[in-house]
Amino acid sequence: MNAIERIVDPFTDAATWERGSALWPSNQRQTLTCCRVIDETHDVKSFAFRTDDSLPVRFEPGQFLTVCASVAGQSVERCYTISSPPTRPWLLTITVKRVPGGVMSNWLHDNLKPGGQLAAYGPSGAFTPTGTRAAKRLFLSAGSGVTPLMSMTRASIDLGLDSDIAFVHSARTPADIVFRDELRMLAKLSPRLRVFFVCEGAGDEPDWAGATGRLSLPLLAQWLPDYAEREVYTCGPAGYMSAVRALLREGGHDPERYHQESFDLGADAPQATAPPIVPTSQQTYTVKLSRSARSFTMSAAETVLAAAKKAGVAVPSSCSQGVCGTCKTKLLDGSVDMQHNGGIRDREIVKGFRLLCCSRPTSDLVLEL
Ligand SMILES: Cc1cc2nc3c(=O)[nH]c(=O)nc-3n(C[C@H](O)[C@H](O)[C@H](O)COP(=O)(O)OP(=O)(O)OC[C@H]3O[C@@H](n4cnc5c(N)ncnc54)[C@H](O)[C@@H]3O)c2cc1C
Ligand code: FES
């Protein structure tokens, strides 16, 4: 056990976020009421919500909600990180960037006002500091990717930890920097929180005195000569994250100490631990549902989610890629081949939970549904 492991560290201890708050499972839908809308930048708004029962909600910094809305008669679901920290569990905040042509982000910006309601599935996601001890951290974000790192930073400050955090945020222009004033203010509160901004251009702030261009290894080394010693958490657009990964690799950073979350399910979804094995046999299995006493048969080549939907069984789901955790269901009997993308934790797998959207049966199954 090294010196770091001996010290009690509430930031990385899951019990910190479990105390006193209600569990809201990621496959349970409830209604949120919007209490506040904040204009963060010209195209980013934060929406603060209280839950149906006004109970504090248990989550870990960096986790997200799956938000549901009916837009033009279509049911739409999208994941949004809880940008507020779990140290403020009564008011959950999401921070949404308006995506040109995007269905949900534009609907939220144009329609959701204080008093408005929104359905959502509970907190999910494994992009959190929980369980990973580190003496020094480096948060790298771009655009709306700032949100999980903001929740982590706010939580660390609220816990009074004065942790060594270097927060490097990339934006198009100074006017696009989300949480610019708050990050600077937090850095004044905690001497070991250092905040750096790099903008592609000065935009309409010609007197911008900060760094311009893109994040590069020389710039990172100039700001943080010890970057290779840091536990790195990265979130941003797909292109930004692959550039950051390459840059850190070139700089000799240990990939084992690199954590990332992609907001882009299509282009740069995190890779499953192994490529999915899609059986070609005509093998079929029976799936029994313990709560509804229903059953259906399915091919070994299908995912359980796809087969359940075909059989008319309502299973909550969103991403269909093993990321969001919405389809998490307890497997009471049988076995599946699950190829997830971070939407479920090892401890949940041990408890028997599986993500149905990325699980194919390898025997008959009994599900808690
Ligand atoms: C884990 C996770 C956490 C996230 N957290 C955040 C967060 O904190 N903040 C945030 O802002 N976002 C976050 N996101 C991203 C968010 O979930 C949405 O993907 C984002 O808001 C865009 O959704 P949309 O419905 O507005 O756009 P979509 O309708 O999904 O469209 C996305 C893009 O595709 C284009 N498009 C849509 N339909 C078509 C079509 N038929 N043909 C061609 N192009 C098309 C649109 O023009 C747009 O450019 C997160 C995502 C994940 C997975
Ligand atoms: S639907 Fe998102 S993990 Fe299954």
Q: What is the pLDDT of residues 54-111, one digit of tens each?
A: 889 999 999 999 999 999 898 898 999 999 999 999 999 999 999 999 999 999 999 9
Nearest residue to 259 via CA among 152, 121, 99? 152
CA 253 to CA 332: how far, in whole Å? Answer: 42
Share of residues in the chain with pLDDT > 90 (%): 75
Confidence of residue 270 (pLDDT cuts 50, 70, 90): very low
Highest CATH level, class, for 3-124: mainly beta
Q: Is 176 helix (H, G, I), strand (E, B) or coil?
A: helix
Higher-pLDDT residue of 151, 77: 151
pLDDT number for residue 52: 82
Locate the domains of the chain by residue range.
Answer: 3-124, 136-262, 284-367
Q: Is pLDDT at 268 greater than 50 in this prediction?
A: no
**Rama region for 20: left / alpha / beta (φ>0; ψ in -120 to 50; rest):** left
Give the pLDDT band (50/70/90) at residue 179.
very high
Determine contact, residues 357/327, Cβ cutoff 8 Å.
Answer: yes
- What value does the mean pLDDT take over residues 20-40? 90
Cβ(355) to ligand 2 under 6 A?
yes
| pLDDT at residue number 273 | 44
Please work out whether the CB of residue 324 comes within 6 Å of at least one atom of ligand 2: yes
Q: Is the pLDDT of residue 254 over 90?
A: yes
Q: Whole-number mean pLDDT of the chain?
A: 91
Q: Which two tokens stand for residue 209?
A: 């005195």
Residue 271 has pLDDT above 70, yes or no: no
Mutate to test the pocket of ligand 2, among 28, 344, 355 (most ligand atoms within 8 A of CB): 355
> What is the per-residue pLDDT for 17?
80
Q: Which ligand is nearest to the CA of 45?
A: 1
d(CA 207, CA 242): 31
Model confidence band, residue 11 (pLDDT cutoffs 50, 70, 90): confident
Q: What would the mean pLDDT of 245-264 be, rounded to a whole number?
A: 93
Q: Do domains 136-262 and 284-367 have the same CATH topology?
A: no
Is 99's C-beta closer than 6 angstroms to any atom of ligand 1?
yes
Percent above pLDDT 70 for the chain:
93
Q: How many CB atoms lie within 10 A of CB 246?
A: 11
Distance 124 CA to ligand 2 centre (A): 10
C-alpha 96 – ligand 2 centre gap (Å): 21
Does residue 64's CB lie within 6 angstroms of at least one atom of ligand 1? Answer: yes
Q: What is the DSSP string of 86-135?
A: TTSTTSEEEEEEPPTT-HHHHHHHHH--TT-EEEEEEEE-S-S-TT---S
Ligand 2 atom at minimum distance from 355 CA: 4
Instruction: Give distance in angstroms: CA of 55 to centre of ligand 2.
Output: 26
In this model, does residue 200 exceed pLDDT 50? yes
Could you please state the CATH topology (level 3) that the domain comprising 284-367 is classified under.
Answer: Ubiquitin-like (UB roll) (3.10.20)
Which of 262, 304, 317, 359 for a ligand 2 pocket mutation test, highest count of atoms within 8 Å of Cβ?
A: 317
DSSP state of 17: H
Confidence of residue 2 (pLDDT cuts 50, 70, 90): low
Q: Is the CB of 105 under 6 A from ligand 1?
A: yes
pLDDT of 18: 78
Residues ≥6 apart with Cβ < 8 Å to 251: 217, 220, 221, 227, 228
The mean pLDDT of 225-244, rounded to a whole number, is 95
**pLDDT tens digit string along 278-325?**
656 689 999 999 998 899 999 999 999 999 999 999 888 888 889 888
Q: Report pLDDT for 280.
A: 60
With 50 as the cut, is the pLDDT of residue 272 above it? no
pLDDT digits (tens, 9 = 90+) for 123-138: 988 899 998 999 999 9
The helix-helix angle for 146-158 and 180-189 (nearest 10°) equals 30
Average pLDDT over residues 214-236: 97
CA distances from 362 to 300, 305, 369 (A): 7, 15, 19
Mean pLDDT of 216-230: 97
Q: State the amino acid at position 151 in one-letter form.
A: S
User: Domain 136-262 carries which CATH code?
Assistant: 3.40.50.80
Query: Is the distance from the beta carbon of residue 68 to the nearest atom of ligand 2 less than 6 Å?
Result: no
pLDDT value of residue 266: 60
Q: Which two tokens stand for residue 92?
A: 């959950």
Given a cut of 60, whether residue 328 has pLDDT beyond it is yes
Question: Which of 40, 105, 233 has the most ligand 1 atoms within 8 A of CB, as the residue to mutate?
Answer: 105
Q: Residue 78 CA: which ligand is closest?
A: 1
Total-model pTM = 0.86
Q: How are the residues of the chain apportioned to helix, strand and coil, as percentages rounded to the nearest 5?
A: 25, 30, 45
Give the rounded distance of the alpha carbon of 341 from its chain centre. 12
pLDDT at 335 > cutoff 90? yes
CA of 209 to the centre of ligand 2 (A): 43
CA–CA separation, 299 and 220 (whole Å)? 51
First to last CA, the chain: 43
Q: Which of ligand 1's atoms lies nearest the C-alpha of 261? A: 1
